[in-house]
């Protein structure tokens, strides 16, 4: 099998999986970290599509600065305990029980 | 799961099914258009033909700073307006009151000296290879973010100009260049041949400084204390 095609197939699979994991995350912090990972994988996708300019912008801005802004916003969300407004604690508990 | 045990605020089974069907249909439509549709030739031929006159040998830079310079000028205006909006919300909150971890400080001592070097390379490379003001500015902004979260200030003594000057420099220089080329019957942003390369580098250098300050300023999330 063509190694380039194999790499692309793995890349697309990982991209879709990370995107879903970031969206479906019950924990807001985890979601943000997955979003940053998504940006880095996506920039590899742009390299594979022959668009290194877009890949650079995606890695620097999409993953780097946007991730930093999201984390800064997350750190400023109200809530003294571990719980933060975006977290779905009931959902986390339900996930925990199912395991 | 019955609807009774469903937590409040979560969509019901029917709504989920309808949404899933709609999304699947949209995805199938896009895939079909990609496979069956004719791909338009685009403008790559026209760009390649005009590239020698543009002042940049990288087609992306030529499009962003010359052929569609107006778009990039307005993008700089949007970024500048974004910082003005953030500053109008109030003074910047204190980010770090505790001592930064040794790991962060160690990483900073490696990464921060490299950032200006990478920034300068990306800026210079932009005329002929992938790179450019936005990527260079983002790398410099990342160094600024590392400084901010470590709670330290740069040890180099930069001239004490207000941050706002640096923020508007990119838009200001771009506008000045766009207007300065007009005498002699040229349109707005119509660089004279021969000077195009130098003017693009000037605009990009100013834009890099501004983009770095703007992105770091957005991260601070408010008007810095020593800014008027």
Range of the domain at A23: 3-77
Q: Does A23 contact B at CB distance below 8 Å?
A: no
How many A/B residue pairs have CB atoms within 8 Å? 47
pLDDT for A74: 87
Q: What is the DSSP letter of B63?
A: I
Q: What count of Cα atoms within 13 Å lies in the side-chain half-sphere of residue B43? A: 9
Which of A68, A75, A76 is nearest residue B145 as measured by Cβ atoms? A68
B24 and B120, same structural domain? no
A98 falls within a domain:
no
B20 and B133 belong to one structural domain: no
Whether B47 is covered by a domain: the verdict is no
pLDDT-based confidence at residue B21 (cuts at 50, 70, 90): very high
Classify residue A59: in a domain, yes or no. yes
B146 within some domain: yes
- Contact status of A57 with chain B (Cβ, < 8 Å): yes
B162 neighbors B227 (Cβ within 8 angstroms)? yes
**Chain-centre distance for alpha carbon B225:** 25
- The larger pLDDT score, comparing residue B158 to residue A29, is at A29
Looking at the domain assignment, is residue A87 inside a domain?
Answer: no
* Chain B residues within 8 angstroms (CB to CB) of chain A: 7, 58, 60, 93, 95, 122, 130-132, 134-135, 138-139, 141-142, 145, 215, 218-219, 221
Q: How many domains does chain B have?
A: 2
Mean pLDDT of chain A: 85
Neighbours of B112 (CB within 10 A): 17
Q: Does residue B161 sit within a domain?
A: yes
Confidence of residue B1 (pLDDT cuts 50, 70, 90): very low
Chain B residues closer than 8 Å to A65 by CB: 138, 141-142, 145, 215, 218-219
Cα A28 to Cα A85: distance, rounded to the nearest angstrom: 9
Nearest CB to A76; choose among B93, B135, B145: B93
> Are B66 and B152 within one domain?
yes
pLDDT of residue B3: 47
CB atoms within 10 A of CB A31: 18
For residue A52, list chain B residues with Cβ-Cβ distance below 8 A: 130
Q: Are B115 and B10 found together in one domain?
A: no
Shortest CA distance from B122: residue in chain A? A56
- Give me the pLDDT at residue B4, please: 53
Which domain does B7 fall in, by range? Answer: 3-36
């Amino acid at each position: 099998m063509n190694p380039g095609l194999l790499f692309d197939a793995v890349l697309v699979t990982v991209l879709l999986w990370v995107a879903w994991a970031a969206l479906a995350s019950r924990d807001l912090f985890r979601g943000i970290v997955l979003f940053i990972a998504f940006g880095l994988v996506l920039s590899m996708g742009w390299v594979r599509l022959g668009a290194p300019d877009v890949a650079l912008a995606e890695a620097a801005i999409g993953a780097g600065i946007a991730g930093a802004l999201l984390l800064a916003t997350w750190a400023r969300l109200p809530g003294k305990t571990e719980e933060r407004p975006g977290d779905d604690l009931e959902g986390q508990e339900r996930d925990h029980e199912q395991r | 799961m019955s609807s009774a045990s469903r937590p409040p605020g979560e969509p019901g089974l029917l709504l989920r099914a309808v949404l899933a069907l709609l999304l699947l249909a949209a995805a199938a439509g896009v895939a079909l258009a990609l496979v069956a549709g004719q791909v338009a030739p685009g403008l790559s031929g026209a760009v390649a033909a005009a590239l020698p006159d543009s002042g940049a040998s990288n087609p992306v830079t030529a499009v962003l700073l010359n052929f569609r310079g107006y778009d990039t000028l307005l993008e700089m205006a949007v970024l500048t307006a974004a910082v003005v909006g953030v500053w109008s919300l109030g003074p910047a909150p204190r980010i770090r009151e505790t001592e930064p971890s040794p790991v962060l400080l160690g990483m900073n001592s490696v990464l921060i000296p490299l950032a200006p070097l990478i920034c300068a390379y990306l800026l210079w490379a932009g005329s002929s290879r992938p790179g450019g003001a936005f990527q260079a500015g983002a790398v410099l902004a990342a160094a600024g973010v590392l400084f901010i979260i470590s709670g330290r200030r740069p040890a180099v003594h930069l001239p004490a100009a207000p941050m706002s000057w640096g923020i508007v420099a990119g838009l200001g220089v771009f506008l000045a260049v766009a207007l300065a080329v007009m005498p002699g019957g040229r349109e707005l942003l119509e660089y004279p041949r021969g000077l195009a390369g130098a003017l693009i580098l000037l605009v990009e250098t100013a834009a890099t400084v501004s983009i770095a300050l703007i992105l770091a300023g957005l991260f601070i999330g408010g008007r810095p204390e020593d800014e008027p």
